[in-house]
Amino acid sequence: MALARRWGTVGLRVHQLLEFIWHSDWKYIPYVWAAPLENLVQRAAPTAQPILSSWWAYNYFFATISPAVVELEEWLGIGPPLCPLLPVLGTPYAEKGNALLHSILAHEVGHLALDQHPVQLPAPELTSDALGSLSGEPLTAPQAPPGSLFEHTLRESLTGEFSRAFRAWAQEIVADLFALQMLGPAYFFAFSFLGVSADMLSEPDRSQPPLGVRCRALLRAVEAWGHLGALPQPLQQVVLQWKTFGWEAPQLARVHQLVQDSLEQHLDALIEAVNGAAESLGLAYSSEAYRRDVEALRNRILDGVPPDTIGTVPYHAVSLAAILNAAWEVRLAYLPELQRLVAGDKFDPEDANQRSQALGVLNRLTTKAIEYHAIATQWEKARARTEG
């Protein structure tokens, strides 16, 4: 019976895996991202074989397939496990061509990094005062039975919910911070871009911390890790504007309000912990690298050329982070210049159609640069192997 149950679980997972593989055809995914993502993923988990998949739902996601299979292998006494780690990184199909927004994928790699290299998360407990403030009202309600059983159950469930939510929310923030380490400000811009849409268009997701908290954590880290000073003036203004952005305050249960307050108190500890972990994994993209590369890459985009390299001879592709940051700079502060190049004599800064064309060119140039990054990286590896 137990074996059948396990086979059932494995069967379900294999079915999911096949679906993910089916949707990982190049026609469905932003395929030029596959190699750079594999590189990032394998720094977090060297033996992982990532699958980039796409889904009809409008969501970026992270899932792992292998635990159920590994569990079965252990149960059957097969060791060491044969199944490699198969992390699935999911993208919304609707955004296949949106190269800039795919910076969000770094958040999903952040979950993998956290899975493989647990960061010491703070584990605050609900104080009895806070618990009292939460449990007072229902316990004094007339229908509440007197005595301790109900109170005990309620206290237990509130404490449990506080710990569970704190951990889940902290993990999301840690994944955000890992992503910021990997991609620098590009991740912050993609997050805020997607976050505003989510804030305005959908119901808040209780499994995740409120967007305002995530944004504040990222803003603190952008400053703490020296990225703010590396940005050109117009981009600094963009970042500073986010400090005063009025995220819609979600309707939280009181226990979740306490979780949020507690998280805010622990943000600095999380930022410090992720900084150390990302450095040791070789995932960090420094503000010095940003200062060195991004302006020249931005100028290439404004010349109508992919932002793939800053050197001359020999050819060296720049990092994925540098490409994305240059693209976000143009997107947020220099788009009219690109629009002028694309529109030529007919340039009209108010023309939405021209702006849309310029955005299309920006996405294509960015995608091309990512493809060149992947090709050049593979090329260098093949050359090194050939030359022994």
Partner 1 sequence: MPVLRGKEVKERLFQAQGPRRLYVTPLLEPEQQIDDAAGAVDVRLGTTFIVGRRSGITAIDPLGLAEAGIPEQPRELSFERNYESVYVPVGQPFVLHPKQYVLGATLEYVRIPADLTGQVIGRSSWGRLGLIIATATIVHPGFTGVITLELTNVEEVPLVICPGVRIGQLLFETMGDQPAEVQPPSGRYAFSTEPTISRLLRDPELRFLRRLSRRE
Smallest gap from Cβ 98 to partner 1, in A, equals: 15
| Residue 386 CB, nearest approach to partner 1 (Å) | 12
- Closest to partner 1 by CB, 164 vs 364, is 364
Nearer to partner 1, 34 or 258 (CB): 34
Say how many residues make up the chain: 388
Q: What is the DSSP letter of 334?
A: I
Tell me whether residue 291 or residue 368 sits nearer to partner 1 (CB atom): 368
The nearest distance, CB 59 to partner 1, in angstroms, is 24
Which lies closer to partner 1 via its Cβ, residue 232 or residue 311?
Answer: 311
- Cα–Cα dist 47/247, whole Å: 40
Taking the complex as a whole, the smallest distance from the CB of residue 337 to partner 1 amounts, in Å, to 12
Residue (108 or 371) nearer to partner 1, CB:
371
Residue 308 in tokens: 């793939």
Assigned token pair, 348: 């009209």
Q: Which is nearer to partner 1, 191 or 372 (CB)?
A: 372
Q: In angstroms, what is the C-alpha Rg of the chain? A: 24
Q: CA separation (Å) from 374 to 100, 155, 315?
A: 16, 53, 13
Residue ranges that bind partner 1, judged by CB under 8 A: 26, 31, 303-306, 308-309, 312-315, 317, 340-345, 361, 364-365, 367-368, 371-372, 375-376, 378-379, 382
Q: What's the sign of the alpha-carbon dihedral 160, 113, 290, 296?
A: negative
State in angstroms the smallest separation of the CB of 301 from partner 1: 11
Helix (H) or strand (E) run with residue 234 in it: helix 233-243
Whole-angstrom CA distances from 132 to 136, 155, 173, 254, 282 are 6, 9, 28, 12, 45
Q: What span, in angstroms and rounded, lies between the C-alpha atoms of 366 and 100? A: 8
Q: Are strands 51-55 and 87-92 parallel, antiparallel or unpaired?
A: parallel
DSSP β-bridge partners for residue 258:
none
Structure token digits, residue 20: 């993910």
Rounded distance between C-alpha atoms, residue 255 and residue 207, angstroms: 14
Q: Using N-to-C axis directions, what is the helix angle for 211-224 and 185-201, rounded to 10°? A: 170
Token pair of 145 as six digits: 């039975």
In whole angstroms, the minimum distance from the beta carbon of 387 to partner 1 comes to 12
Q: How far is the CB of 342 from partner 1 (least distance, A)?
A: 7
- In single-letter form, the type of residue at position 123 comes to A
Contacts of 382 (CB under 8 A, 6+ apart): none
Output the smallest distance, CB 33 to partner 1, in A.
13
Cβ 24 to partner 1 shortest distance, Å: 13
Name which of 80 and 314 has its Cβ closer to partner 1. Answer: 314
| CB-nearer residue toward partner 1: 18 or 382 | 382
Q: Helix (H, G, I), strand (E, B), or coil: what is residue 48?
A: coil
Please, which residue, 171 or 309, has the CB nearer to partner 1? 309
